[in-house]
A and B are shown apart, each in its own frame.
Chain A
């Protein structure tokens, strides 16, 4: 199975399914939670931090359909880039998959999804975190 694109931001579940959880850090002094690793609190500079697993569902804060991709982008074009706000506070940028462009709406619920991505011209695949519209009834 492919490895995580960034083990400090995405921990894969220890099973055969492509599932995982986003990682963050919570400050024990000011309570702020950030996405990804940090040695010092980004808000108050404290080093009293604890690792946390972040909610897998968030709210679409904004989005764009990228039609001219940056150099090295290994995915389809166009792609949807979503800015997603998690209940703990941090926002996470990632591609939004499995969606029709005209269904996208600020405020909609999205959930974490993982997708294997090969680098441009490369053979090695990595599991990358993405968002997809959430369907709570599924």
Chain B
């Protein structure tokens, strides 16, 4: 099922980020607002000019948190939509904002997301679901099943998967917004606390709190709002998909490790580009195995070979497929509602050439991919 045809050209005019970590002193609405304000400032638009807002979040922190957060900026009466799409909630809010603008419904749109994820293993089903008894409702166990099978099928050694985490942490040290900002070695990754064999703690993203925001605008309307076009970044593709039957019969992540591929194909088609055009990529590395299988689903490496690209340094900041340049979920942490827009924030920052020590030189095209339960995938391609 293809996405609808593009309409007007849409750009990201501004981005904002609240650091990821633990902030017991702030409620969800406060976190969210503290990402929205810098995004508005970055775009150079006034809150009063925003005609619509989409807010991604998952865990219940009271009803209509999007309205509560934005209400702090003044009550302007605009439609505000609260979006729950699991780990892809933020990137889904961004997708909605894109389609709201490209179709001509709105000239401007705000996409933002925030989360305070509880500590401990993440579950998907309702508390009274039989799956809680059966033992399969455990995100990292799902990734562990994928990982063991991948290692068996491809011959990838444990050290190659650990290298994904080592690289993420290295990138994270160059990012002041990251939840984790220390490095470790392959040995330390492999010897960290086992969570679900063969996954160890340092191969699982931290659960986190944080917020992210982006202001989108129709390119033809930039002048009306006084937005500086030279700092805008174009949106070449915005794709959202859910599960397709894959012969295994469930939306559990263990059953569909390559579910990103259909969305990736759509996104490349929409952008008129191929994987060879992508200069840097943010993918859903909730666990190390996730990064490898996403890179393969996006056709950035052949299937079964992303582990080799990793050990050869091709996914590092100086490689030809710089991946999760801001540290990804593994170093940034993973506040569900914020993560997808955090990826947009990093992509925009890189394409503007403002990423400082982690800058990928000369990058003009960046791809951001985010996965969520329900076989949700988003693939967004940005172009300078």
Contacts and interface: CB of A to CB of B under 8 A. Distances in A.
Interface string B170-202: 000000000000000000000001111111000
A117 B135 CA distance: 12
Given A90-B249, A128-B133, A67 B127 contact: no
Q: Name the interface size band of chain B.
A: 35 or more
18 contacts: A42-B245, A43-B247, A61-B149, A66-B141, A67-B193, A68-B196, A69-B138, A70-B121, A70-B123, A70-B141, A72-B127, A74-B133, A81-B145, A83-B145, A93-B134, A94-B135, A117-B133, A128-B133
Interface in B246-284: 247-250, 252, 254-255
Interface in A109-134: 117, 119, 126, 128-129
A18 to B, nearest CB: 15
Contacts of B245: 32, 42-43
Nearest to B245: A43
B134 A62 contact: no
B167 interface: no
A131 to B, nearest CB: 11
A95 B197 contact: no
A6 interface: yes
B130 interface: yes
Interface of A: 5-6, 9, 32, 34-36, 42-43, 61-75, 79, 81, 83, 89-91, 93-95, 106, 117, 119, 126, 128-129
B135 to A, nearest CB: 5
Contacts of A34: 249
Interface of B: 120-123, 127, 130, 132-138, 140-141, 144-146, 148-149, 152, 193-199, 245, 247-250, 252, 254-255
A67 B121 contact: no
A106 B149 contact: yes
B138 A81 contact: yes
B149 A71 contact: no
